């Protein structure tokens, strides 16, 4: 074994011993979630890769996963989980000022806030740089007008990551600015979008003379595209780096979890606002097929093994990405591959779940087999191929950044956005 590997293992063992000892002295299931998360943040174990004093210890991503695994092993409640923790804080830490870091990050570390993402628009989904929500300067504030759509968890968020157009006289990528905006204000209206599974994880959001302070502009005026790209990269890496078995809670006052007993939250599945997670693995579906007397169906067994193989390939791809990160190399488009693989696996489960039930696969509700969880999964899976960037976007990124294929032909990248024709005719 190389000396560097041995040294790395020693560091990992030291981290394991330290967090294990700390958890033994500090984990108390009778604490409120609020108090437990604050204790974790104060000790730097909440998000160990974040800087010291901001909920972390400045550890490597590898050591961060070691800490997360030890928290799982101890049966303790994991860190808060919202887009603010996964994406917002990393962007503020990377591109914000010292004042912004010290003001915006600690409430996220302590789980006091949940954030949402105001990116996609009705006419700007795959072409995010073509968004038309406006930001106009008014003294020390910016006035926001426009519409966003497919916004997850907006109703429980206290702040949102907003990309808006602050300059119409430059090409589209250079006229965007990135803000952290307060959601609770008269100029923001949130309307839930009811899904076919009966839930409403997504929302459309209308901005009418909403206001955001210039102090909450991240990276400077016109630098929004770089911040948006970084946000999406943190989203994919953050979701793919979660540790199996990790129990987390949706943070913020509106979610209603902060004053609950921490041990009670650990004992139940976490609601991350991303839809059903039931019956998504091949083994769960195989067990269901056996229970329903369909375990000897040769065609079904073959498809289950294909789904298992797909899951194995996805796991190996994730391992390669983590190995590249440990070696200080860029994982490239590995996170996009993982996101796309997740969609494929979801669709396989969507097909095989009802097949395992036979005719009962058409039933819904708690009176259906498996308490209706299979039907809930079937109706929830399509959203996973949209949330976090559609499958089509993932394929574009993999093709362009991973395989080096040429970008799609674009005629509007170098002209002022004001002169770009709109889909309904005319220009901006």
CA 361, 267, 384, 304 torsion-angle sign = negative
Q: Give 204's contacts (C-beta < 8 A, 6+ positions apart).
A: 147, 148, 149, 150, 151, 190, 191, 193
Q: Torsions phi, psi of 91, nearest 5?
A: -70, -40
Pairing of strands 141-148, 115-118: unpaired
Pairing of strands 141-148, 134-138: antiparallel
User: Would you tell me how many other CB atoms lie within 10 Å of the CB of residue 18?
Assistant: 14
Contact, 295 vs 286, CB < 8 A?
Answer: yes
Residues classed as catalytic:
235
For residue 135, the cross-strand partners are 144
DSSP 186: T
Q: Torsions phi, psi of 164, nearest 5?
A: -140, 160
Contact, 154 vs 160, CB < 8 A?
Answer: yes
For residue 206, the cross-strand partners are 147, 189
């Amino acid at each position: 074994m190389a000396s560097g590997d041995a040294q790395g293992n020693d560091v990992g063992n030291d981290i394991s011993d330290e967090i294990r000892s700390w958890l033994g002295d500090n984990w108390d299931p009778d604490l409120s979630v609020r108090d437990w998360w604050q204790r974790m943040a104060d000790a730097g174990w909440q998000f160990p890769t974040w800087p010291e004093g901001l909920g972390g210890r400045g550890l490597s991503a590898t050591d961060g996963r070691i800490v997360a695994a030890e928290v799982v092993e101890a049966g303790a409640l994991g860190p808060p989980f919202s887009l603010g923790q996964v994406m917002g804080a990393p962007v503020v830490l990377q591109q914000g000022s010292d004042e912004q870091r010290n003001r915006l990050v600690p409430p996220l570390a302590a789980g006091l806030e949940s954030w949402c993402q105001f990116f996609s628009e009705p006419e700007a989904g795959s072409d995010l740089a073509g968004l038309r929500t406006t930001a106009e300067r008014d003294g020390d504030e910016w006035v926001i007008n426009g519409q966003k759509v497919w916004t997850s968890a907006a109703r429980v968020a206290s702040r949102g990551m907003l990309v808006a157009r602050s300059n119409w006289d430059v090409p589209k990528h250079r006229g965007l600015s990135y803000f952290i905006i307060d959601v609770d204000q008269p100029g923001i209206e949130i309307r839930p979008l009811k899904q076919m599974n009966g839930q409403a994880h997504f929302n459309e959001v209308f901005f009418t003379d909403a206001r955001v302070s210039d102090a909450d502009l991240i990276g400077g005026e016109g630098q929004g595209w770089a911040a948006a790209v970084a946000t999406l990269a943190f989203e994919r890496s953050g979701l793919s780096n979660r540790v199996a078995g990790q129990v987390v809670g949706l943070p913020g006052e509106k979610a209603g979890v902060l004053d609950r007993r921490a041990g009670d939250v650990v004992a139940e599945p976490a609601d991350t606002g991303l839809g059903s997670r039931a019956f998504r693995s091949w083994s769960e579906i195989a067990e269901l097929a056996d229970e329903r007397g369909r375990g000897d169906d040769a065609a079904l067994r073959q498809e289950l093994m294909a789904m298992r193989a797909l899951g194995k390939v996805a796991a190996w791809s994730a391992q390669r990405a983590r190995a590249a990160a440990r070696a200080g190399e860029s994982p490239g488009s590995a996170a996009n591959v993982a996101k796309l693989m997740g969609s494929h696996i979801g669709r396989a489960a969507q097909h095989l779940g009802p097949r395992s039930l036979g005719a009962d696969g058409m039933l819904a509700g708690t009176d259906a087999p498996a308490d209706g969880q299979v039907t809930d999964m079937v109706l929830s899976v399509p959203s996973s191929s949209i949330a976090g960037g559609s499958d089509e976007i993932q394929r574009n990124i993999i093709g362009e950044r991973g395989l080096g294929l040429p970008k799609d032909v674009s005629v509007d990248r170098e002209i002022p956005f004001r002169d770009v024709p709109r889909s309904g005719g005319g220009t901006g």
